[in-house]
Structure 1
C-alpha cells in the first residue's frame, strides 16, 4: 500500500483497484447525453495540485448525488462564485473512481466504504468533507418473492463490494439464516445466496429477465423497478441502520491544502442545496429530471425524492431519503467494524490493522462542514443534534 504521506499519491493501477474489491461492474465510462471525459487513462493527468479554474464534478445517476446536482442546477454553486462545469455522468463506481484518481474530475460523491478502500487499499490521498445524504437505498425483490428466505439458491445484485448496500444486505440475509457467498454458485439446500456486482442501470433489466431474484441499490432504481412492474420494494436500508450515510463528498487533499476557500464554498453550496431540497422536494425532483441529471422516468425520481414509509418505531412517516451533511465519527467507526464482517470478492486484510475510531480522523475533514452548518442556521436547521454526536442504531 502506498504511504499517502509521501509525495503526490499513487498513480492508479486499474487491476489493483479491481482486486481491492471496488465496484467491478465496469461500464463504458460516461453515458450519452452527458459531457464526455473521453477514454479513462491509467496515469495522473497532471502534477499534484493541478486543478482547473472550472471544477469538474463526477457522479452516478442516483438520488444520492442530489445535493451536488441541485447545487449545480439551482445556482448554489454560482452563489458561491464557483465555476463548476456540467456534472459528468458515469455508469459504474469503478469508472467514477478511476476518473477521480486520474484527475479527470475534481470532486465526486462516493460510497463511504469505497472511500475507506481508496484511502487504505489504493493509498489515495483523499478526504471526505461532508455527507451527501442519509438513507435512500432499498432491497427490491422479483415478483413472487415475499420473504427474504426465498432468496436462498439465487443471485442477488449489489452495486459494489464496498458499498453500504452490500454491508446491510448481508446483515439482512444472515438475520434470516442465509449465507452470502461470492464467486460460488448459490445452493438452496445450503441456504446460500450468490452476490454479483452489477451497474445500477443493469439491475432492472436483469430482474426483468429473471437473471437475479433481488437487488439492493440507491434510488431511483428501486422506484423504477416498481414503476415498471418488474419488482417490489421489500424494505428500505434505513430500517437496517437508522440514518446511515451512503454517499459522501470526496476531494483530493491537495485541493484542501491549495484552495481551502474553494472547498469551503463547495461545502457551503452543498449544504444550502440540502436545505433547499428539504424545503421543496418536488421542485428538487423536477430539477434532477428536467435538467437531465437523472435519466430515469421523472415519476420514479419524484417517488424516490418525495416518498415516505411508516416508521418502524411508531413515529411519523419517514422519508425514503434525507439530507444531512455532518459526518458523525461514530458512524465511521461502526462502518469499519461492519466492513470486517462483510463478504467481498477482494482485498480485506487492510481492515485487520485499522483502528475504527482512528479512521475518521485520517479520512474525514469536517472543518468545512462545521463552518457551513453554522452559517446555515446551526445543527437544528439541518435536523442534526446540537452536540453533533449520536449513537448508531442497527438491527
Structure 2
C-alpha cells in the first residue's frame, strides 16, 4: 500500500513537547486541562482514496502534526473493512472513517469493537450518480428551466424507471461503499423519499435487500465508475472524486449531492479504539489539534483549496487528476456534462462547526440503522443517547480546540456553544425535520422504514 514517508523535526518536537507539559487535572474539566507530552510520538494513520481525507493530508503536508510533536505516517487502505480491522488490531493508530463505523462497531453490527471519535472530518461531499442509460430514462420525467434540469432531483423520477424495469422483470441495482456508510444511509434516504424501498437487513440476511425495490450492494469507491460502466450496477452513491470521474469519462450523470438530501450532513470522522484513546490521552489531543488546524486552513481561502487539490492528486493520496478533484473541491459541481453549477457548500471542512463531534449527528446515524433493520428491535430514546456519549468525545475536541484558542491559532467564536445537539434540523429532501433528542419520534414520521417495535 502506498504511504507518505514520515516527516520529523526533532528541534520542533522538543520545543513543542516542553510547551505542552503542564497540569493534568486538579478537578478541572477536560477541555480546561493542558495536555502533557504525547505518550506516543510515532503514529500511522489510515485513509481511503477520497477527497475528504484532506484534513489528514493537509495536517501532514503543512507540518501541523510536527508542530504537536508527532511523527506521522499516512497509509492508503484497500477498503473500509480492512481499514477498520487494522485500527482494531493496532496496525494503525487511527484512521479516516465512515461516520457510521465507530457506531456500528460499538453496537456490534458487523465487526464488534469499541471505537471512538473526537473529530468530524467534513460536512457533505457525496453524490448519487446514475448511468447514461438510466439518466436518459429519468430525464423524460424531470422539469426543465432554461434548457436545464431543475435541481434538486427527487427519486420520484427514478421510481418511474424502476417500475418500468420491474414490469420487464429487470432488477435495478445500485452501489454504495459499506453497510454502515453515510452513502448507504443517504442513498436509502433519497430512494425512500421518492417512494422506493431500498430493502431491510434482518438477523438472517445481512445483504440489506429484504423487500427491496432497488438492490444495493457494496463496491469500493475507486471501483464505482468501472463497475457501473460494466453494467454490474446502474448507479451509485460515493464520495468524490468518483462522481465527477463518471462525468469526465462520459459514462454517467450525478443527479443529486448529499447536501441536497440533508443540508450540512456530517460525512467522515477520525476514529481510534477506545483503549488507544485511554492509553494516549495527550497524543489524542495533539492529533485533534493538528486536524482542527487542517480543517481551518482548508476553508480559509480558495487559494488553499487549489493547493489542497494538488496535494490530493498525488499518487500516494487520492491519485486522481487534479482537474477531476478540483471540480468539486473549488466551489462548483458538474452534473450532466457541461452543466456545472455553483456548490460552495459541497465540501466543508471547518465552517459551520464542521469539525465538532455532535451527539445529534451520532444519533441520526443510529436512527437510520434502526430504520433499515441493522438495529433489529426498538430502543428507548435513552439508548440512543447512551451510545452517542460512548462513541463521540466532544470533551477531547474541546480540550484541543481551547488549547488552539489559547495559542492564537483559532478564535473562540470558531467553537460551538452547545450541549452536543444542533437543535431541530431542517433541509432534508423529504421535508421531515430532525430532533436528535427525540429519535423514536423522528422514526415515526417516515412512510418507509421500521419504527417503534416493528420487525421485518
- In which range does the TM-score fall when normalised by the shorter chain? 0.7 to 0.9
Give, in whole Å, the separation in 1 of the partners of 2:377 and 2:52. 27
Specify whether residues 379 and 294 from structure 1 end up closer, same or farther in structure 2 by C-alpha distance, changes over 3 A only: farther
1:181 and 2:199 matched: yes
1:217 deviates by: 0.9
1:341 deviates by: 0.9
1:385 deviates by: 4.5
**Contact 1:129–1:251, Cα closer than 8 Å, also in 2:** no
**Contact 1:336–1:351, Cα closer than 8 Å, also in 2:** no
1:79 and 2:64 matched: no
Matches within 5 A, 1:277-288: 277-279=298-300, 280-288=304-312
User: What is the aligned counterpart of 2:113 among 106, 124, 143?
Assistant: 124
**Contact 1:224–1:297, Cα closer than 8 Å, also in 2:** no
1:365 and 2:393 matched: yes
**Contact 1:156–1:193, Cα closer than 8 Å, also in 2:** yes
**Contact 2:175–2:216, Cα closer than 8 Å, also in 1:** yes
The residue that corresponds to 1:322 in the other structure is: 348
**Contact 2:292–2:401, Cα closer than 8 Å, also in 1:** yes
Specify whether residues 111 and 191 from structure 1 end up closer, same or farther in structure 2 by C-alpha distance, changes over 3 A only: closer
Structure 2 stretches lacking a partner, 5+ long: 6-38, 139-156, 164-170, 335-341, 430-456
> Could you state the TM-score of these two structures normalised by the residue count of structure 1?
0.78
Give, in whole Å, the separation in 1 of the partners of 2:360 and 2:208. 36
1:186 deviates by: 8.9
Q: State the SS of the aligned residue for 1:192.
A: coil
Give, in whole Å, the separation in 2 of the partners of 1:390 and 1:81. 33
Q: State the SS of the aligned residue for 1:356.
A: helix
Specify whether residues 277 and 109 from structure 1 end up closer, same or farther in structure 2 by C-alpha distance, changes over 3 A only: same
> Could you state the TM-score of these two structures normalised by the residue count of structure 2?
0.68
The residue that corresponds to 1:331 in the other structure is: 361
Specify whether residues 255 and 191 from structure 1 end up closer, same or farther in structure 2 by C-alpha distance, changes over 3 A only: closer
1:349 deviates by: 3.0
**Contact 2:370–2:377, Cα closer than 8 Å, also in 1:** no
1:258 deviates by: 2.3
Q: State the SS of the aligned residue for 1:55.
A: strand
Give, in whole Å, the separation in 2 of the partners of 1:224 and 1:205. 10
Structure 1 stretches lacking a partner, 5+ long: 1-29, 37-50, 311-315
**Contact 1:58–1:96, Cα closer than 8 Å, also in 2:** yes
Specify whether residues 266 and 186 from structure 1 end up closer, same or farther in structure 2 by C-alpha distance, changes over 3 A only: closer
1:246 deviates by: 1.6
1:151 deviates by: 4.4
1:275 and 2:296 matched: yes
Give, in whole Å, the separation in 2 of the partners of 1:273 and 1:365. 19
Q: State the SS of the aligned residue for 1:84.
A: strand
1:191 deviates by: 8.0
The residue that corresponds to 2:320 in the other structure is: 296
The residue that corresponds to 1:69 in the other structure is: 57
Matches within 5 A, 1:230-241: 230-241=251-262
The residue that corresponds to 1:264 in the other structure is: 285
1:98 deviates by: 1.1
Q: State the SS of the aligned residue for 1:242.
A: coil
User: What is the aligned counterpart of 1:249 among 232, 251, 270?
Assistant: 270
Aligned length: 337
Specify whether residues 159 and 246 from structure 1 end up closer, same or farther in structure 2 by C-alpha distance, changes over 3 A only: same
**Contact 2:115–2:391, Cα closer than 8 Å, also in 1:** yes
Give, in whole Å, the separation in 2 of the partners of 1:350 and 1:74. 47
User: What is the aligned counterpart of 2:128 among 127, 135, 139?
Assistant: 139
Matches within 5 A, 1:99-110: 99-110=86-97
Give, in whole Å, the separation in 2 of the partners of 1:171 and 1:298. 31
**Contact 2:41–2:283, Cα closer than 8 Å, also in 1:** no
Question: What do residues 86-108 of structure 1 show as CA deviations (whole Å, max 9, x unaligned)?
Answer: x1111211111111111110001
1:159 and 2:169 matched: no
**Contact 1:220–1:296, Cα closer than 8 Å, also in 2:** yes
User: What is the aligned counterpart of 1:212 among 212, 218, 233?
Assistant: 233
The residue that corresponds to 1:20 in the other structure is: none
Computed over aligned residues only, the root mean square deviation of the Cα atoms, in angstroms, reads 2.8
**Contact 1:379–1:386, Cα closer than 8 Å, also in 2:** no
Give, in whole Å, the separation in 1 of the partners of 2:122 and 2:85. 23
Give, in whole Å, the separation in 2 of the partners of 1:205 and 1:275. 34
The residue that corresponds to 1:148 in the other structure is: 158
Specify whether residues 291 and 170 from structure 1 end up closer, same or farther in structure 2 by C-alpha distance, changes over 3 A only: closer
**Contact 1:139–1:216, Cα closer than 8 Å, also in 2:** yes
Give, in whole Å, the separation in 1 of the partners of 2:114 and 2:190. 33
Question: What do residues 51-92 of structure 1 show as CA deviations (whole Å, max 9, x unaligned)?
Answer: 96420101100122110121112211111110112x111121
**Contact 1:155–1:186, Cα closer than 8 Å, also in 2:** no
